[in-house]
A and B are shown apart, each in its own frame.
Chain A
């Protein structure tokens, strides 16, 4: 695929996503009951979370086992700032800024230390576990930041809801749903755009062959650090949305959260953006349905899905479907359609 067709295709995808988002914003709150609306808002926040890892791992080639650290940090930063300032607009900036800042520090340590894949995985996992343990042990009055009590494993149940800037009116569930839709779409469009820029292509070059990219004059460490920081910011945004649809709790840092997002990217297809979001929605809905039935432990399903995909569908759903679609749509060899295509080439 040449670059120009890629850009055109990417433009079409973004336009399609915009239409889908608008349709969802207009129609969904009218037809869905409140409970479903809140749940779908939650799924949207998870979709943003999926995008953060899809970008980092799929395009930056950096497998982060602790993406949930940024997710949780974003939510905690938001809740603590909102409780202290009483204003959620500034707190939202904290939700994106603090994880990005944390990632900048951690990433400096990782990439400028030239740690390889496995160690990168270990350290990100470790950092997540440290945060998880620390946050869990912050029960009691001694642990507070300003006005905000950290609350140990109870989390912060009184997480303030986002308010309209300037007026201070809390957002209704329908408003939040709209916001989550916009955030998901904006993140998708941003990622799509990012990978076609000069910076994005350099990041992909580093993923493909770090040594070669460095020999061509790119600063691989800086590029990796940059994509790491961007991805952490996106994860923080996801945390912010999550905090507004549920509340802030230490489970956001947990290993199962980190595992879930990896599973979405693996199932959706590494190196794609739409796939992980779709996989995230599908698997969440499936997990919720299974949980409601209570017949089978959701872990069994998640685990089986991950094993089966890694072993049998290593490319993920999106590439597999695209290949299937291409085979169906491509006219058979020798047919008039095929000849016309050949001539066009």
Chain B
């Protein structure tokens, strides 16, 4: 009984983790059809921002929840202005340029921060269920993921900003002829997406530590979660992270962490063959 509960809680933790890692990419991809392969490096920089702030004596929650997202958002605005803006409509080129950016950021981070893991202690301890001990921080993450997704859903569904965003997603020509400037919407979207990546990085820093090359591991997972989710940014990502996170945790329990990751990737590949437009391409169509 306790064991089952522990497995379920682990699954919740893994789902929250995957959802947080993917949501930044989902916002950018869903809105702009731009695949940001530098997403993993945005996460990495969010992590560094959080850790350096903590080392400078700033409160860890402030560092993770405010400083990390803000600093990566600033970077996102720069990247959008300097590179992405020139490539809209050329999907393959944006992919390539963002890959170049990812290499560049890895190189810069290695040069300035060193090729080693830096970490910070998690701000909350662990709790016990029967004879098992679980880290409480995983559930803080899952809780934050829940808040982010609920807020995202509410904003997209019920506010004017959300309406503008959904309109641009559905039909950018129509939206722009109704007086919405797509380039501004894109700039804001990219900044928000980057901020969410930074948030994920900041929150992951106490768990995984931060390393210049850590992004590679996240970008593929995030990429796959988003594509499996399909057209709806919030609903799709939530559903696919639940599905893939569960598969990952269960197979990790049965076998090894590496085979758990392999199972995640394999499941996503098979899923895409069955539902080529993602989960929300078939069911929950039109949800934000």
Contacts and interface: CB of A to CB of B under 8 A. Distances in A.
A303 B83 CA distance: 13
Nearest to B257: A137
Nearest to A57: B92
Contacts, number: 110
Nearest to B273: A113
Nearest to B86: A311
Interface string A264-308: 001000000000000000000000000000001111111111111
Contacts of B91: 117-118
Nearest to B258: A137
B269 A262 contact: no
Interface string B157-173: 00000000000000000
Given A123-B272, A125-B220, A306 B92 contact: no
Contacts of B223: 122, 125
Given A296-B111, A297-B110, A300-B104, A310 B96 contact: yes
B276 A126 contact: no
Contacts of A297: 106-108, 110-111
Contacts of A302: 100, 103, 107
B111 A307 contact: no
A310 to B, nearest CB: 4
A119 B277 CA distance: 9
B224 interface: yes
Nearest to A114: B276
Interface in A122-162: 122-123, 125-127, 129-130, 133-134, 136-137
A119 B101 contact: no
Interface stretch (B57-65, B118-126, B127-135, B259-267): B259-267
Interface residues of A, number: 43
Q: Which of A113, A118, A263 has the most CB of B within 10 A?
A: A118
A110 to B, nearest CB: 9
B97 interface: yes
B96 A306 contact: yes
B256 interface: yes
Contacts of B224: 122, 126
Contacts of B102: 303
A266 B94 CA distance: 13
A126 B268 contact: yes
A52 B266 CA distance: 26
Dominant secondary structure at the B interface: helix
A111 to B, nearest CB: 12
B72 interface: no
A91 to B, nearest CB: 27
A213 interface: no
Q: Which of B92, B259, B268 has the most CB of A within 10 A?
A: B92
B227 A306 contact: no
Interface string B209-251: 0000000100010011001000000000000000000000000
B227 A122 contact: yes
Interface of A: 63, 109, 113-119, 121-123, 125-127, 129-130, 133-134, 136-137, 255-256, 259, 262-263, 266, 296-308, 310-311, 314
15 contacts: A125-B220, A130-B265, A130-B266, A136-B258, A256-B103, A262-B96, A297-B106, A299-B104, A299-B106, A299-B110, A300-B108, A305-B100, A306-B100, A307-B104, A310-B87
